[in-house]
Amino acid sequence: MFTSKEFILLLFFLCTLKCVVSQNLTCADLNKLYEDGKNLVNVQRLYDGLLQLNHITQENKEIGYNYFNYEFSQSMSHNVSEEYLKAKIYTQTASLFYDQLNNVESDVYELFQNYTHCFFEPKSTPEHLNYFVNKKYRSINGNGNNIKYPKRGESFTSFGRLLKHQYDDNIYSIRKSVRGNSLPASRSIVRKIFLNQKTNLNKFTKRNDTPNMLFLLFGQIIKHDTSSKQINQNVAPNEGVRCCSHMNKFQLPPSLMHSSCLPITISRNDSFYSSKNIRCLDFVRSNLISNNPYKVEVGEQMNRVTSFLDLSVIYGSDYERMCKIRSYNGGRLKMNPSNVLPLVNGTYYSGENRASQTKFFIVLQSLFVRNHNHIVDKLALLNSHWSEERLFQEARKINIAIYQNIIYNEYLPLLLGVESSKRLENVVYNPETDPSTLNEFSSAAFRFLHSFLPSEFELRDRNLKVRKVSISDALNENESISSYENILRGLMYQNISKTGYSDEILNKLFKNNRDIGLDLLSIDIMRSRDHGIAPYFKYRKYCDIKPFNLKSFNDLSPHISKKYISQLRETYKTVYDIDLIVGAALEELESNNSSESNSLVGPTLQCIMLEQFYRWKAGDYYFYTHDLSEFSFTKEQLKTLNQIKMSNFLCDNSDLDFVQESAFINNKNDVKCTELSYMDLSAWKEDLSIVNDN
């Protein structure tokens, strides 16, 4: 261990970096603050490194180790690491800047950006110069999709936002109550409102079109395809950041805690953890990124993957990963002998590092890899003159189009209601629309889907005999895939949960050998605070949900029931403190039983989700329905793509004998795969006489 003297010296140095002077700051003052900020970050990095050297790190088999290991296991390039470090320095400098202003009531974030000229010479070069845009195929990393704003939606850039971030210091420290107190602990919120209650949050029990687990996990594919945060780290492989003591008995003192820690506190009267003597759960803050090299910006959370609906979950979000996935044999992707994702060092390997969280994800991702290879085989027969590269790119383009078609024409009508999803039908490309995945969507709104998870996954054999496996056991499994079709049948014939968050989600996520795991909802609440998501009432106003100006908890009616209003009043000090993910999760759904109007989510979540899916379509130059260049799909090709349903997709890429006619709905309306049409790509046959003439 390092000595108390070393701690005292480090802490003394940290304190000397903070001083208060006048509010009339010059460029010299700002540059001094920048140097102080850089020194402070370097000291923090040194300090965090000392923790690692002294083995104050989280190790395998501890509570939640696998969860956090997935979050930081994907490496960053040197350039991205530099931008991450710069973002930390700017953010720390802004914090010092805030201290210099004596915590004045002003927009510190905007004031800080006004000092850009102190750090950089003015740049006249347009942002879009020196970027090559391939009009035929989208890039792997998302760069150049928009020639005017080439980095929008690119991997390793920041999430977008609907509303400005909300921090206590307007920079990075966690939001507090409007009364100045700390917000209620996330686990306390879960315990008082969600735990040990059959909350029936989803309130769609009378619907005839109950979604199945295939619908739910397909949503997880969308989530992984468009967002992946990276938590802060300064540790060796197989070691995680530690915020709690060994066995999670208490929160580590500040002198032993990593600078990125934000531990979840557990009360003594917690019905689950207290009996296990658990008083603390590890939680590590997300990495920041600086997007503009010529502008002083407080860091924003980094998205490791492309924002676009481009199957980066299959193809990767950087060229290095893509090269490991491709076989470079006829345009195909690598598969193992069982025709599922390839194994690399005993782990299933795909476009992003969360593929092997559970075999249910592995099977769904394998569907798209199989589909890519089927497309390649068909295209090679139609166009024997095509190169290996063209076969790969055309198959990728078609595979992405099928995926986008399923999302907008089958998935969203079920999630948001048919009438609401129709608003997205005629959306055209708008180069001013930012397609970046919204922080509110990734860190709050789409996480509500966790409430649909049941306690167990079901697997079904050819006779539909059921074998069950708990969610927590499924996440801990690391076995080979030997029941591909059984998994698919299980997903099709198992309904999503109608009773809210299960015990498996609230107590046992990524459990250890003592059957103790994380609380996913507590993590979701903390992550939304870490990412500076504004409180619930502000999104009600943004989404035009009346009354706009809430004055008391009672004003939440009729969108939230009296029962939940009472629980919210007991949990939060004011109605203005309610976290977005909490308030939105408790909203009532429409009483109409028709699937034409019904959404599976309340009005605030529906609003945020609609905005996100609008942006992903309007802001994506390569979206499959856009007719913007000679390389866009032809009318005949679009007709073929729009005829491919999820049911066809399942039959084409598995050995299933029958499927649900509407693949995302468990209505027992089976159809034989032999009765469904197979993918016909004749519209892609190239006329060689025209090619030769050109």
Q: How far apart are the first and last CA of the chain?
A: 73
User: 670-672 and 264-265: which strand pairing?
Assistant: unpaired
Distance CA 301, CA 287 (A): 6
Q: 592, 598 in Cβ contact below 8 A?
A: yes
Determine the residue type at 185: A
Distance CA 46, CA 48 (A): 5
Q: 54, 2 in Cβ contact below 8 A?
A: yes
Distance CA 523, CA 520 (A): 5
**Cα–Cα nearest to 515, from 526, 523, 504:** 504
Cα dist. 185→90, 103, 221, 267, 581 in Å? 29, 25, 30, 9, 14
372 annotated binding-site participant: no
Helix, strand, coil percentages (3-state) for the chain, rounded to 5, are 45, 10, 50
**Cα–Cα nearest to 454, from 414, 498, 488, 487:** 498
Cα dist. 21→48, 119, 326 in Å? 30, 20, 58
Helices (H), 103-229: 108-113, 186-189, 213-226
Q: 401, 633 in Cβ contact below 8 A?
A: yes
Question: Which structure tokens are listed for 134?
Answer: 């391939």
Cα dist. 551→132, 179, 556 in Å? 53, 15, 9
Q: 444, 528 in Cβ contact below 8 A?
A: yes
Helix axis angle, 27-53 to 4-16, nearest 10°: 160
Distance CA 494, CA 45 (A): 48
E-assigned strand segments in 166-321: 240-241, 264-265, 280-281, 288-289, 300-303
- Residue 451's SS3 state is helix
Question: Which structure tokens are listed for 627?
Answer: 């007719």
Distance CA 434, CA 146 (A): 9
| DSSP state for residue 444 in the 8-state scheme | T
Distance CA 377, CA 374 (A): 5
Helix axis angle, 484-493 to 213-226, nearest 10°: 110
Question: Which structure tokens are listed for 519?
Answer: 């609380």
**Cα–Cα nearest to 560, from 523, 605, 522:** 605
Helices (H), 622-668: 635-643, 646-652
| DSSP state for residue 286 in the 8-state scheme | B
Identify the sign of the CA torsion 616, 290, 296, 107.
Answer: positive
Look-up: residue for tokens 């308030």?
583
Q: How far is CA 593 from the centre of its chain?
A: 31
**Cα–Cα nearest to 216, from 564, 494, 603:** 494
Distance CA 212, CA 126 (A): 49
Distance CA 166, CA 577 (A): 11
Q: What angle do CA 228, 234, 235 make, to 5 degrees?
A: 100
Binding-site residue set: 450
Binding-site residues for heme b: 450
